[in-house]
Every structure is written in C-alpha cells, then in structure tokens.
Amino acid sequence: MKRLLDKINSPLDLKRIDQRSLPRLAQEIRQEIIDVVSETGGHLASSLGAVELAIAAHYVLDAPRDKILWDVGHQAYAHKLLTGRRKSFRTLRQLGGISGFPNRGESEYDVFTVGHSSTSISSAVGLAAARDIRGTNEKIVAIIGDAALANGMAFEAMNHAGHLRKDLIVILNDNELAISRSVGALSRYLNSILQNPVYNKVHTDLEKLVKKIPMFGLTTYRAARKFERGVKNLLVPGIFFESLDFRYFGPIDGHNIDLVINNLRRIVKLKGPIILHTITKKGKGYKFSEEYPTDFHGSYPFDKMSGEKTAAGKKVATYTSAFSEKITELAAERKDIVAVSAAMLPGTGLNRFAEKFPERIFDVGIAEGHAVTFAAALARGGFKPFIAIYPTFLQRAYDQMVHDVCLQDLGVVFCLDRAGMVGEDGATHNGMFDISYLRHIPNMIVASPKDAEELKAMMGLAANIDKPFSIRYPKGGQLFGIGENMPSSKVELGKSEVLKEGKHVVILALGSMVGVSLEVAELLSKSGIDAAVVNARFIKPLDRELIEELSKKFSKFVTIEENVVSGGFGSAVLEFIDRENIKGIELKAIGLPDEFIEHGKREELMRKYNLTPEGIAGVIARELFDRQPV
C-alpha cells in the first residue's frame, strides 16, 4: 500500500488526509524516522515521542502563517517530514544536508533557528508582541519539554507572558525525562498533576458543564472558572501555571491524535496565555528507544533489529571516559570534591560519579547559569566543585563566570567536553568560542590537553589550585591524527611542552591540534621545512618564558587551535608579542573562521576548513615560505 507520507509535501497535503487515517500516518512517520536515524544517527527518542504533537499542530494550525516553535528542536523530525523535507530527510545531519534542528535557512516553517534549550516561550512572547503591534492575528504555539520548561529562561518568559497576557499557546510535551531523568521541584509538581485523578475529573466535568450552557456564554464561563480555580486551589498544590496567568489544560495523552487535535482546536480560539499539558512517551514506537530512552536520546547509527550501535557508534576510549575515571578517582581520595552537571550526566561522563558518590553529585537540570553560581557557592562553602559541561551550553553562564566565580577568584573547575567541532549537531553545538570567552576573564586559568592522559593530569593539577580553572577537550577519541596517548612530561601550571625541535618555524599547537601538528611537521619536512612543535597546554597563563626563548630562535611562528581565531589562543600569543614589544616575528594564526560552522562529519568539516595536516602544511609552506607543498 502506498504510504500516506509520500503524498505530503506541505501541511496543506496533511490537511487533506482524513483525521481517522492520522494514526496510520504517525506510524509511517515513526518508521521513516527510525529508518533514517539508524543510518545517520540523531535525536531518535525525543522525535519519536513528538510525532502526534507535530501532526496535530500542523493539522490544526495554518503554518507558516501560524508560528510553531520547537524548543531545543531535537524532537522536530516529524515536523520536518511534514513541511517539505520528506525527500531530503535522508540527508539529515550530513554535510550539505538538512540540519538536525529547526533552521531558518532551511525552511520557512522553521520559525526560529534552535538547538539550545528553553528559548521557545521567549520567542513566542516576542513574536506575539510583534504580531500585536503589527495588528495581525496569527496563532503562536511553543512546544516545550518538561526538562526545558524548568530552565530559568522559560520561567522568565512565562512570567512575562502572564504579565502581557498575550495570546499564545504553550504545549508542554511531558515525558518525565530530560536526557536522563528530569530533576527538580517542577518535575515533581508535574508528576503530582498526573497523579491527581480527582483534579482531572473535576476539570473535565467543568468543561463539559460549561459547554452545555452556550446561552450564558462568557459570564457562566467566568463564574465557572472562578469556581474551578477555587477547587483547584484545594486540590492542586500551587496551581503553578494558573498563578502565572496561564490557563492550564490537561493533562492529556499526547499520543492520542484525536484528543490533541480536539483540544488544540478548542484552545486556539481562546484568549491569553494557555498551556496544554500533554503526556508522551520518550522513544515511543520503537522497542529499544522506549526501553533505553537515554541511549537513544542522541544516538549514533544503530542496527534496527538489535538496537546495537553500528561501527560508527561503537564505544571507543574518549576524553569523556578519561574525565569520568579521573573525577571518580579524585573523589575517592578527597571528600571535598563535588560535581555539578546541568542535565548532562551521561554526556559528560558524570553518571559513574553519580552512582558512586550520590551525596556529592548535583544535577541542577537545564540551568547552566544556576549551575555556575551554585558551584561558586559550593567553593565558597569549602568544597572543590568540578562542573562538567559543554562549552556551547556554558555560553549561557558567562556573567556567572565573571561575576560569581572569577571576581571572587573561587576555585571552581570547568571541564569543557565537546570543545571544538562536534560534527553532526552543527552550528548550535560547536564549541568554538570558549577560548575567546574565557581567556579574557581575570583570574581564569584556561588549559587544553593534547590527549586523555594529559586531561587527567590537568584535572589533578586543577584539584590542587584554588582558582577558577577551565580545561577544554574535544568530543570523541583521544587524539586526532595519532591514535594513542603520547609520552608526556609533567603538567605544570602555565608551562608548555616542546615535542619536537626544529630550525625554520615553530608551531604552537593546542589540544586536539597537537597530534595534527606533528603530522604537519612531518609533511613540511618533505618540503625542506624543519618545524618545531610545541604542545602549548595553557592558553592562560601563557608560557611567557618559552615564547620569549623561542622568539630568539625563530622568526616564524604558527599557532593552531580548534577555536575561532578571533580572541583565541593565536590572539593571546600575538598580544603577548605586542605587549612585550618582541620584534621581527611573523605569526600565522590558524583556527576556525569568523562564521558559524554547519553540520557534517567532523573529518569532512576539518577538511572543509583546512584543518587537516595537509591543509595546514600547505598554508605554512605557501604563506610563510613561499613554497608549494610537496
């Protein structure tokens, strides 16, 4: 039988499908998502959980005129399939293909480019304010998960929406999970709603009652609402949403398409901020993602039959696992070591710590700003906090680092996993700005290890230094270009390591680019260029002594880093040369360009941005030596 999905090129085609056939369509969409993600990898479990919500939203609303905002956007694969990207869906997350998140450049149905959590209600309020000034009447709907709702930004936006009383709808996609368990008092509160049958019955009865008395319309309805609030006050502790001036509907089964459609049809007609609470199952419709939603949150490619990750996703030794080992070891030795995560226990490797030291782990939820100030206060309270976080998400906590950690010179350790290019998650997730946003904050130490052993050594050093200390390391395997840990000298604060002597040029390489630089040196030697290679280790404090010494021997310097060149490690070296008035140095700063970098395989992107050994050797040979590389 021909698939219904194959007829859908836009939401208009969806609307032509009989409502009774929509469950079949949901089934087909699920299968398509499983088929594709098993090959490309991606956010399987969240997307499977939001299929009916996407269908219902597009069935009832009139996008792109009406605005549908997906929070984080990792659950929007069904939305993509329904909005003209059915044919390109197989290129998901691949270089030149469609993004794994809503992206304005990709489709007019993607209202906001996203990837970071908890922006949808703010965007909805802003779009509603713009609409009202303009005097148009499109509907604005934000779809947000229970974990994303617990972020400060979502709270701030609800507070504002309640104040402005704008017409907008928030669909809460509640599956009781973040990547792992949803944490926090809000999560407990949502749970209490689900477990309160009395309230649910009163709520439904009231609606039925009101609908039966059309003659009295608004007055009756208002009176009923007042009564309802009174009843709710008795039955639901807090009536959290209603207190913020949102009208609360639900909870309803978010996989029952008729129910979601009928509720949406009703509430789009209402005024003011509204929240529709839907209950969904993360990973719905695929045995393995239902059973292991955390493993299938962001998944590598997998075998559909067994659920096993295929070669591309097989576990290799990673920086994350080295971090995980070391933090557990440190905590076993020292009772003052505590760890903080913003809803990323599995991704950062903190779950092992969490199991071993449950009283010393703090998962604060998707709340990066809070995580940093909270850690500052843990340090102030006499503990040694390690925050494990992705640098792209730490961007959310810049002021907290400045004002709460560095200004007070508190001993918080920031372990920045996924620094550099992350590959398939693309522009919203690349960790390419952290050197620039960290190194200019007074008191902050910024380090980057060349391999996993060095990461452990740096963590050991950081544990014993009572200052803000950040360590950045890339996603995945230990070394790029070499394949195993290199012999290491002792890691000392602000000291680099000379790995190879040379005569003509010195390469100061950082972190992931150290292994690459050794290969660069080998390639250069074929062109008769003898390059020295230094493993910089510290961006701040810089190894001033070594740079001064090198400047007496070399007139050509190269810096290589996996960060934007603007404000990065190369800038730090240039600033030092300038400040110390060192003359006669020609410096080539190699790194990432001043642009957002799209999704694709990391290797492809490294090639595209010329950060391969061949690419870098070519640049050095041509630009510093006026030679064509061999």
Ligand X SMILES: Cc1ncc(C[n+]2csc(CCOP(=O)(O)OP(=O)(O)O)c2C)c(N)n1
Active site residues: 282, 368, 396
Residue 230 CB neighbours (<10 A): 10
Do residues 474 and 454 make contact, with C-beta atoms less than 8 angstroms apart? Answer: no
CB neighbours of 483 closer than 8 A, spacing ≥ 6?
477
For residues 48 and 542, which CB has a smaller minimum distance to ligand X in the complex? Answer: 48
Asked whether 439 and 463 are in contact (CB, 8 A), the reply is: no
Contact 434, 391 (CB under 8 A): yes
User: Is 282 near ligand X (CB under 6 A)?
Assistant: yes
Tokens of 95: 């270089």
CB of 25 to ligand X, least distance (A): 20
Q: Which of 121, 140, 366, 573 binds ligand X (CB under 6 A)?
A: 366
By beta-carbon proximity to ligand X, the closer residue of 173 and 324 is 173
Decide: is 100 part of the binding site for ligand X (CB under 6 A): no
User: Could you give the CA distance from residue 222 to residue 542 in angstroms, rounded to a whole number?
Assistant: 67
DSSP string of 174-243, one letter each residue: E-SBSSSB--SHHHHHHHHHHT-HHHHHHHHHHHHHHHH-GGGHHHHHHHHHHHHHHHHHHHSTT-HHHH
Query: Closest approach of Cβ 239 to ligand X, in Å?
Result: 22
Task: Single out the segment in contact with ligand X by CB under 6 A; choices: 69-77, 238-246, 402-410, 522-530.
Answer: 69-77
Helix spans in 271-381 (H): 287-291, 319-333, 345-348, 351-356, 368-380
- State yes or no: residue 289 binds ligand X (CB under 6 A): no
- The nearest distance, CB 297 to ligand X, in angstroms, is 6
Instruction: Pick one of 74, 284, 326, 602: the residue that binds ligand X (CB under 6 A).
Output: 74
Distance CA 601, CA 476 (A): 12
- By CB under 6 A, name the one of 103, 117, 320, 436 that touches ligand X: 117
Who contacts 163 (Cβ-Cβ below 8 Å, separation ≥6)? Answer: 245
Smallest distance, ligand X to C-beta of residue 145, A: 2
Stretch that binds ligand X, among 72-80, 466-474, 499-507, 540-548 (CB under 6 A): 72-80
Count of positions on this chain that bind ligand X (CB under 6 A): 24
Contact pick of 34, 128, 158, 343 for ligand X (by CB under 6 A): 343
Q: What is the dihedral of CA 494, 495, 501, 505, to 10 degrees?
A: 10
Determine contact, residues 552/583, Cβ cutoff 8 Å. Answer: no
Residues 14, 59 contacting (CB under 8 angstroms): yes
CA atoms within 13 A on the CB side of 362: 20
Least distance in angstroms from the C-beta of 283 to ligand X:
10
Site string for ligand X, 388-407 (x = CB under 6 A): -----x--x-----------
Q: How far is the CB of 536 from ligand X (least distance, A)?
A: 29
Per CB under 6 A, contacts with ligand X among 126-155 are 145-148
Residues numbered 171-210 forming contacts with ligand X, rule: CB under 6 A: 173, 175, 177-179, 182
Dihedral sign for Cα atoms in the order 471, 405, 146, 64 = negative
Chain residue at closest Cβ approach to ligand X:
145
* Residue 72 within binding range of ligand X, rule CB under 6 A: yes
Among 37, 41, 44, 46, binds ligand X (CB under 6 A): 46
276, two tokens: 């529709």
Return the number of the residue (38 or 75) whose C-beta is nearest ligand X.
75
Binding mask 242-281 for ligand X (x = CB under 6 A): ----------------------------------------
Interface positions with ligand X (CB under 6 A)? 46, 49, 72, 74-75, 116-117, 145-148, 173, 175, 177-179, 182, 282, 343-344, 366, 368, 393, 396
